[in-house]
Amino acid sequence: MQLVTGGALLTLSSILATPAQANSAVSTVPAVGAVLSQAPNAVSVTAATTLLPDGNSLSVTDPNGVQVDDGSLTISDTTAVVGLKPLTVTGIYTVSYTLLSATDAPLSDSYTFLFNAPAVISTPTASPTPVVTHPIVPSNSASSSAAKVTILVFLGLATIVALFLVWYARMIWMQSRKARKRRSHERGQK
């Protein structure tokens, strides 16, 4: 009976010593085992409990073991995010992390994802937008001559109309002047 009680006591103490909510990774971006054809610009791990603002680590290494994260670790509630340098090597990348919570033991683990780098990585460069110019097409000389003649005819007609209006205005002015003289002459005789 002593052995059963000791075993029961050991089991009971291990159950009581385990926290009600164990800290574990809830999600990762990129996902565990993901196969990517476009390089991510950051990696994140979300835990089940709120993380402490300090003391956490999250690192990413390429297939050659070279660290490719930029070291800019950001903690937001339950999520840790680290930025990445441009990924250029095809292969399996390893994400290693240690996340600290005030209510639980540190969460340390790692996972991998596969990145298929493009055959040629090019950096976009600015290039000027070409300006479309339309060449001046020489006009048909016959239509050009006809347009010139038409303009000259209209100018000639406008000149004739202007001269007629000047003559007509002068004629009306002269008639009204004569009519005034007649009236004043007739008044003078009365």
pLDDT tens digits, one per residue of 128-152: 777 666 666 555 666 677 888 888 9
Confidence of residue 20 (pLDDT cuts 50, 70, 90): very low
Q: Cα separation of 88 and 172, whole Å? A: 95
Query: What pLDDT, in 10s, does the model give residues 54-98?
Result: 989 999 999 999 999 999 999 999 899 999 999 989 999 999 999
- The pLDDT value given to residue 137: 59
- Mean pLDDT rounded to a whole number for the chain: 81
Predicted pLDDT of residue 17: 41
Third-level CATH fold of 23-115: Immunoglobulin-like (2.60.40)
Domain assignments of the chain as residue spans, ordered by start: 23-115, 145-190
Predicted local confidence at residue 189, as pLDDT? 73
**Per-residue buried b or exposed e for 78-109, using 16+ beta carbons within 10 Å of the residue's own CB:** bbbbbebeebeeeeebebebebbbeebeebee
Tokens of 104: 């639980």
Helix, strand, or coil (residue 87)? coil
Work out the pLDDT band at 176, boundaries 50, 70, 90: confident
